[in-house]
Amino acid sequence: MPAHDVLIIGAGLAGQRAALAAAQDGASVAIMSKVHPVRSHSVAAAGGINAAISVDDDWRSHAYDTVKGSDFLGDQDAIEIMCSEAPGEVMNLEHMGVTFHRNDRGEMDLRAFGGASMKRTAYVADITGQALLHVLYEQLMKHHETVERFEEWFTTSLLTDEAGNCAGVIARDIRTGALEVFTAKNVILACGGAGQAYRPTTNGLIVTGDGISMAYRVGAPLMDMEMVQYHPTCLVETGMLITEGARGEGAHLLNANGERFMEKSAPNKMELASRDVVSRAEQIEINEGRGVGPDGRGIYLDITVVPRKRTLEALREIVNLGRDFAGVDITREPIMIRPGQHYIMGGVKTDVDGRTPIDGLYAAGEVACVSVHGGNRLGANSLLDTLIFGRRAGEHAAARAAAMGPPKIDAGAQLKRDADELEAIIARPREGGRRVSEIKNELGDTMNKHAAVFRDEEGLNSALETIHRLREESGKAWIDDRGTVFNQDVLGAVELGFMIDCAETTVVAAIERKESRGAQYRTDFPERNDEEWLKHIDLTLKDGEPEVSYSEVTFTQWQPEVRKY
């Protein structure tokens, strides 16, 4: 039975950074992921990472932009930590080997990004997430003696001891089907968001809300789950992401009349307003009949205004994406895009050291809600979030481990419970049930219809009803694969359960918040209401249902003001 000081679930940027930090501080560390680490979805982050490294910049300016971007729902103590530690972290990454783009003087170059008051986004072409992820993995290979890797292991549940503290996980070796107990003094969840609860989404097929759901099931509160980011530039048909870097480099958004419609809603920042603002503006154009394309479902993103050489050098990935997935040469013609599900600001509630209210359980990255993003995340702040809070969680967990003895836990009963559940799914008869994939698709369509850019009570209630039905159905859903080696089918059924938890809490929180703030826009409550709703919504599992409570937003230097771009 493997036992570690710090066990990290998820090997994207947050997880790998946490592992390196905890190992550096002398803890025995294991990192576990259901995929090989470089397949983690951090790889898809394109545009860059924010840090006030320019001599003209100040981290307070970055922090203010982040607070404003969050529509004042972000916790300012956490935002101050993230933004003030950003320059040091980015330099650390540079020293580790990240091939950041340089300017003519050989210093790190910076590009413009949405919602930022100046250029502060460091980047590697438009593969920044990939470059960061692969360089961190280089470090894991380097430190293979101090960081044990469990690649292609699927975590089925968190272990808690009699006092309710987290003491490890149960996980299945995907290659062999063996189910094992991993005990740990601390578990850090770093397994990303829940984009697959939506269809379409920019997120990979692996992004199924595992960590959020597992934490929720052992009693950890979820926070700000209603805040779901729709990215303004996704391919109309497949929902694939076109980086915000395109607009950062100067690309325009045009409606069917060829107008740069952003001047109506963001006359100063135009295309570089924050994402919630741009996505809403696009959706209004589409809804009011000024969309482009065969059935007016899209908006034109015109990258031809960016010098061609610059596009080929700095936006190469989307040149390929346009060519291969939309048949468009973006250096010559505009490409059709629309808003699409991209990120969840909410997640497992943590403090600034990644601690959840459950002792021994930490969370960092998209799975967590510290909250630095509040109602809306700024582009290029997510990579930063993963690294800063991944590191802090790793450091804190290592320190905690040093001061405690090994957890005392008899995991036999829980191991048997999980094993029985998996066996039961595999053995389910086809009669009277639906396929897992059908239920998943209906869930995704429902969320994308009712819990999207614009929401109202009626739609949300109908979504909740559907989700309850799908939860019933998921208990009878059947699969084909009866094997043990790489039985992805049975894991898909487990993931469906995770996604239903995420969808349910998202919709419940969206119904609860009767105002419009950040990514939550209620057509039946179109105004921001600071008097009643300048607070976080927390959801805790009680008797199978999410129980609502509230928590304060932390303010330090910036009071709420009218948000204009």
Partner 1 sequence: MAEIHDRPPEQFTLRLRRFNPESGEAPYWDEHTVELEPHRSVLEGILQARDKYDGSIGIRCSCRQAICGSCGIRVNGEPSLACHTHLDAAKASAKDGVIEIEPMGNMPVLKDLIVDMDAVHWKKIQRVTPWLLAKQPVPEREYIVPKDSMVDVTQTMACIQCGACVSDCLAMEVDPGFIGPAALAKAYRFVGDPRDAEQYERLNDLSEDPQGIFDCTHCFKCVEACPKDVNPMGQIMRLRRIASADQEIVDQNNGVRHEHAFSTLVKDNGLLWEAELLPRSYGGDSWFGKFAPAAGKELLSSLPAILKALIRGKVTPMGALKPHKLAKADLQSVQAIYEKIESREERYELNLYIAGEDEAPEPSEQPAPTPASETTVASSPPDSGTGQAEETNHEEAEPVGPGSENETPEGSDS
Q: Annotated active-site positions, please?
A: 275
Stretch that binds partner 1, among 110-118, 276-284, 310-318, 354-362 (CB under 8 A): 310-318
Binding-site member from 26, 36, 263, 461 for partner 1 (CB under 8 A): 36
Stretch that binds partner 1, among 255-263, 411-419, 486-494, 506-514 (CB under 8 A): 486-494
Report the residue number, 477 or 537, with the smaller CB distance to partner 1: 477
DSSP per residue over 216-238, as a string? HHTTPPEE-TT-EEEEEEEETTT
Binding-site member from 16, 70, 76, 130 for partner 1 (CB under 8 A): 130
Binding-site member from 2, 293, 357, 560 for partner 1 (CB under 8 A): 293
The C-alpha angle 168, 171, 177, rounded to 5 degrees, equals: 160
7 to 26, contacts with partner 1 by CB under 8 A? none
Binding-site member from 14, 86, 191, 328 for partner 1 (CB under 8 A): 328
271 to 290, contacts with partner 1 by CB under 8 A? none
- Nearest approach, Cβ of residue 361 and partner 1 (Å): 26
- Nearest approach, Cβ of residue 349 and partner 1 (Å): 27
527 binds partner 1 (CB under 8 A): no
- Nearest approach, Cβ of residue 289 and partner 1 (Å): 19
Binding-site member from 319, 401, 439, 499 for partner 1 (CB under 8 A): 319
Give the integer Cα–Cα distance in Å for 203 and 211: 15
Binding-site member from 17, 41, 396, 528 for partner 1 (CB under 8 A): 41
Q: What 3-state DSSP class applies to 394?
A: helix
Q: What 3-state DSSP class applies to 8?
A: strand
The token pair at 399 is 């320190």
Binding-site member from 3, 91, 218, 534 for partner 1 (CB under 8 A): 91
Stretch that binds partner 1, among 349-357, 369-377, 448-456, 480-488 (CB under 8 A): 480-488
320 binds partner 1 (CB under 8 A): yes
Q: Are 254 and 270 in contact (CB under 8 A)?
A: no
Stretch that binds partner 1, among 20-28, 126-134, 503-511, 534-542 (CB under 8 A): 126-134
- Nearest approach, Cβ of residue 287 and partner 1 (Å): 20
390 to 449, contacts with partner 1 by CB under 8 A? 435-438, 441
559 binds partner 1 (CB under 8 A): no
List all residues 6 or more positions away from 470 whose beta carbon is below 8 Å from its beta carbon: 439, 442, 443, 446, 500
Residues in the chain: 565
DSSP per residue over 494-541, as a string? HHHHHHHHHHHHHHHHHHH--S-BTTB-BTTB-S--HHHH-EEEEEEE
Give the integer Cα–Cα distance in Å for 14 and 145: 20
Parallel/antiparallel/unpaired status of strands 153-160 and 335-344: unpaired
Report the residue number, 158 or 367, with the smaller CB distance to partner 1: 367
Report the residue number, 266 or 301, with the smaller CB distance to partner 1: 301
Report the residue number, 112 or 127, with the smaller CB distance to partner 1: 127
- Nearest approach, Cβ of residue 87 and partner 1 (Å): 9
Give the integer Cα–Cα distance in Å for 256 and 246: 20
- Nearest approach, Cβ of residue 23 and partner 1 (Å): 14
338 to 377, contacts with partner 1 by CB under 8 A? none
Q: Residue holding tokens 């998943």?
A: 440
492 binds partner 1 (CB under 8 A): yes
- Nearest approach, Cβ of residue 515 and partner 1 (Å): 35
258 binds partner 1 (CB under 8 A): no
| Per-residue CA distances from 189 to 41, 206, 318, 535 (Å) | 15, 15, 31, 25
Binding-site member from 6, 8, 44, 112 for partner 1 (CB under 8 A): 44
- Nearest approach, Cβ of residue 565 and partner 1 (Å): 29
35 binds partner 1 (CB under 8 A): yes
461 binds partner 1 (CB under 8 A): no
Give the integer Cα–Cα distance in Å for 301 and 280: 15
Q: Are 82 and 385 in contact (CB under 8 A)?
A: yes
Stretch that binds partner 1, among 58-66, 203-211, 256-264, 399-407 (CB under 8 A): 203-211
Q: Are 384 and 49 in contact (CB under 8 A)?
A: yes
Report the residue number, 96 or 179, with the smaller CB distance to partner 1: 96
- How many residues contact partner 1, by CB under 8 A? 88
Q: Are 269 and 68 in contact (CB under 8 A)?
A: no
- Torsion over CA: 486, 490, 493, 495 (sign): negative
No. of helices (H) and no. of strands (E), the chain: 16, 19
Contacts 24+ apart (CB under 8 A), 260-269: 261/285, 261/290, 265/565, 266/564, 266/565, 268/564, 268/565, 269/114, 269/115, 269/565
**Residues in a beta bridge with 9:** 32, 189
